[in-house]
Structure 1
């Protein structure tokens, strides 16, 4: 089983990486280096996963993003299984 300190460290690291990626994305969009903003006909695809316990709720507006979200949900479920159920007594 993974120690509590390790889980806290992983959580804090994930939060820091998320904040850095948010700042990097904002900086790239505001600098005008985005290829879609130059010609004006870019499309936006969205998709996501909400995990409520072991049940995933998957949403999106593009088939490719939904399939990517399904793969991500499966990976998250497998990781959570190995972290919480595999190391039992």
Structure 2
């Protein structure tokens, strides 16, 4: 039963990947004058991520997002451990 679910999820993923690659996207970029660009407010952007190379995590990003990414990675590793060994 799980084999059919796995095959269905893989097929859906491939379909969405192909659909996303073949879809045409038109981006409209408005013209900005330098005065308008300088007056716009700056926004703070935070990002973070974790790369797992075997059991060794490599954490990168701003402090808050890196901690959040590390916590999510630990939770996902526990879920995988429970599903794999139980």
The TM-score normalised by the length of structure 1 is: 0.53
RCO comparison, higher one (Cα < 8 Å, 6+)? 1
State the match for 2:84 in structure 1. 84
Contact 2:50 2:66 in 1 (8 A): no
**Distance between the aligned counterparts of 1:8 and 1:51, measured in 2?**
25
**Distance between the aligned counterparts of 2:4 and 2:75, measured in 1?**
23
| Bigger radius of gyration | 2
- In structure 2, stretches of 5+ residues that fail to align are 21-27, 30-38
State the match for 2:58 in structure 1. 57
- In structure 1, stretches of 5+ residues that fail to align are 21-29, 32-37
| CA offset digits 1:50-81 (Å, max 9, x no partner) | 22334322211x21101101111111111110
State the match for 1:41 in structure 2. 42
Equivalenced residue count is 74
Deviation at 1:83, TM superposition (A): 1.9
